[in-house]
Amino acid sequence: MFKGVLIEKDPQGYTATVKDLDDSVLMDGDTLISVAYSTLNYKDALAITGKSPVVRKFPMIPGIDLAGSVISCTSGKFKTGDQVLLNGFGVGEVHCGGLAQQARLSSDWLIALPKALSAKQAMAIGTAGYTAMLSVMALEKHGVTPDAGEILVTGANGGVGSYAIALLAKLGYTVVAATGRVEEADYLKALGAHEIIDRQLLSEPGRPLAKERWAGVIDSVGSHTLVNACASTRYGGIVTACGLAQGMDLPGTVAPFILRGITLAGIDSVMRPLQDRIEAWARLAELLDVGTLEAVASEIPLSAVCETAQRLIDGKVRGRIVVNVNELCE
């Protein structure tokens, strides 16, 4: 028996509770893992609260991230005791995920935990930091260098935004952070933001083209914010899109793309090829220091997951939430 969050759906309703489980709830996989830490991402919060149809199989253990040690692996890819981590691959949506003390997964979804990181540190980074790193890599691949101009980061107080700021600043970029919580300016500046702007400047309908400002953009918000970011990106710049906190619509025009030659690059973290994952995590281990992880992340026990999920949906959570799945009370 082990503890975990279980989402269940029946004619009487939709529930998410922490309960005793046995391995019959776990799905097929060649690797059994003793989970040390997981995380609470926005997608997890949507799944737990039922605010969006994230979960497509029931019952389901949520949790799109996990880090822990291998109990057994029949594929031969890992041996007992190896430290591993996982992000995505539909885990927590169609395959039982990381918000439990055990997980059974395909070894093809796992990568070795970088030696410079502990399991807790890796989950402090989690999918948010990993997605931020993929976004930064897309800017670099496009040829955006630190001397190219300002980089806009939207959703700055969230996990992706926080890590995007820290990574860009570490690499020498000038970062402008857009947030709905301008009272958090000191936090964002401590991460490396050069300037803080109110998200309302971007979140309302705007013009097809605005004054050119950004050399690049990392957007985790979507909707009008993404459209306005595109409209104010400089000629030849790039906008990376990796989230939909404001909405999944794109209520804009093609003007920035055909008149300014900008690129809109989608950043998928779920099905990313293994080599990209290994590269991203190697760079995260190199660029992020312990102080940054402590500033961005806070820890909760497994028993606090469901309540914290609602707070995350309500916009009352800053940065990253690490879940100690082996701690059950606050």
Q: Write the pLDDT tens digit of every residue in 272-315.
A: 999 999 999 999 999 999 889 988 889 999 999 999 999 998 88
Assess if residue 120 is contained within a domain: no
| Whether the predicted pLDDT of 77 surpasses 80 | yes
Same domain, 21 and 73: yes
| Whether the predicted pLDDT of 330 surpasses 60 | no
- Residue 329's pLDDT is 66
Assess if residue 280 is contained within a domain: no
Predicted TM-score (pTM) of this structure: 0.93
Mean pLDDT of the chain: 95
Assess if residue 283 is contained within a domain: no
- Residue 158's pLDDT is 87
Same domain, 67 and 172: no
Same domain, 159 and 191: yes
| Whether the predicted pLDDT of 145 surpasses 70 | yes
- Residue 103's pLDDT is 98
Same domain, 297 and 261: no
Assess if residue 278 is contained within a domain: no
Assess if residue 281 is contained within a domain: no
| Whether the predicted pLDDT of 179 surpasses 70 | yes
Same domain, 240 and 180: yes
Assess if residue 254 is contained within a domain: yes
Q: What CATH number did the domain enclosing 239 receive?
A: 3.40.50.720
Question: Confidence band (pLDDT; 50, 70, 90) for 245?
Answer: confident
Same domain, 49 and 151: no
Same domain, 239 and 319: no
Question: Confidence band (pLDDT; 50, 70, 90) for 12?
Answer: confident
Total domain count, the chain = 2
Same domain, 309 and 222: no
Q: What CATH number did the domain enclosing 98 receive?
A: 3.90.180.10
Considering only 50-54, 166-170, 274-278, which range has the smallest mean pLDDT? 50-54
Assess if residue 16 is contained within a domain: yes
The answer to whether 162 and 191 have CB atoms below 8 angstroms apart is yes
Same domain, 34 and 131: no
- Residue 328's pLDDT is 79
Structural domain of 22: 2-113+290-324
